[in-house]
Amino acid sequence: MKVKVGDVVVPGDIAEEISRVKSETKCVLGPGLRRFSENVIVCKSGIFRKKNPNTYWVDSHQRKYIPVRGESVVGVVVNKSGDIFKVDIGASELASLAYTSFEGATKKNRPDVKLGDVLYAKLKIASLDMEPELECVDSKGKQSGMGVVADDGFLFTCSINVVRKILSPKCPLLKTLGKEIPHEIAVGMNGKVWLKARSIKETIALANAILATEYITNEETNAMCCRIIEALQEVN
């Protein structure tokens, strides 16, 4: 079936609109779309979205993470063997992380990483048929927020939609809560979120707030944030 922007689409639908675009700039096909000879077809179910200029994607519900190169993820170290750590990032395979891809690490100067540590890292290699590879340094060899997060804190898994929602620039959740509740957070594109606040109560409140945002609008999020902040003040 032929579909247009804003429609609910299923795999196999033809996005006719894109092939009709005649422009100098290239069309960007985001997640959920692929090219098939002359047509662009949908390969995920969801809502067909567009952003100017010429960026199209399918807004789908998903819990399983498919690694994409360059995305930042949160993972747990599950194995150490030889020169590499194995990190669980929730993908179909464990990701590997070399000893040397930490800031200032050399073969002699190994980073202090233990089993069970939570890492915030970037995907260096993510191809469909191979195991993903992580790194904890940016292109300048700096740490820039990556690496092992603090020992305490709370790690939970949510759907990838929640992550996309709270990281979108329009979402007020983290900003509003951050004004009242000091906390630190590492949100991975793989749907794992690590969170640390002053007390257990605050941590639970934040985690529940994040999980509750999935199906509510931004206005409702604001109202919810106010309620949470009030409740926490009463408790203290």
Partner 1 sequence: MDKHRLKMDFRSATKRKLSKNILEMKFMKRSKEKAEKEKEDEERQIMFSHEITPGMKESNYVLEPSFIPCEDLILGRLSYHGFNPVVERMMQERIDEEESKARVEKAAAERRAEKDVSDEEMAWKYGTLSGTISRKFKNGVVNNDERTNPSKRRMDKDPKYTWTKSDNVNSYQESENAEVKRSKFLKPE
Angle ∠(236,156,119) on CA atoms, nearest 5: 110
Check residue 28 for interaction with partner 1 (CB under 8 A).
Answer: yes
233 vs 181, 185, 205, 221, 226, CA distance in Å? 10, 21, 12, 18, 11
Give the helix/strand (H/E) hosting 233.
helix 218-235
Q: What residues contact 52, with CB distance under 8 A and at least 6 apart?
A: none
Considering only 52, 81, 139, 233, the residue that binds partner 1 (CB under 8 A) is: 139
* Cα distance between the two ends of the chain: 57
Give the shortest CB-81-to-partner 1 separation in angstroms: 25
Check residue 189 for interaction with partner 1 (CB under 8 A).
Answer: yes
Check residue 146 for interaction with partner 1 (CB under 8 A).
Answer: yes
Give the shortest CB-185-to-partner 1 separation in angstroms: 5
Size of the residue set binding partner 1 (CB under 8 A): 48
Considering only 87, 91, 185, 225, the residue that binds partner 1 (CB under 8 A) is: 185
Q: Which of 182, 207, 187, 216 is nearest to 197 (CA)?
A: 182
| 153-182 residues near partner 1, rule: CB under 8 A | 160, 163-164, 167-169, 174, 177-179, 181-182
Helix (H, G, I), strand (E, B) or coil at 220: helix
Check residue 29 for interaction with partner 1 (CB under 8 A).
Answer: yes
Contact positions vs partner 1 (CB under 8 A): 18, 26-31, 34-35, 40, 49, 51, 55, 57, 66, 68-72, 120, 139, 141, 144-146, 150, 160, 163-164, 167-169, 174, 177-179, 181-189, 196-197
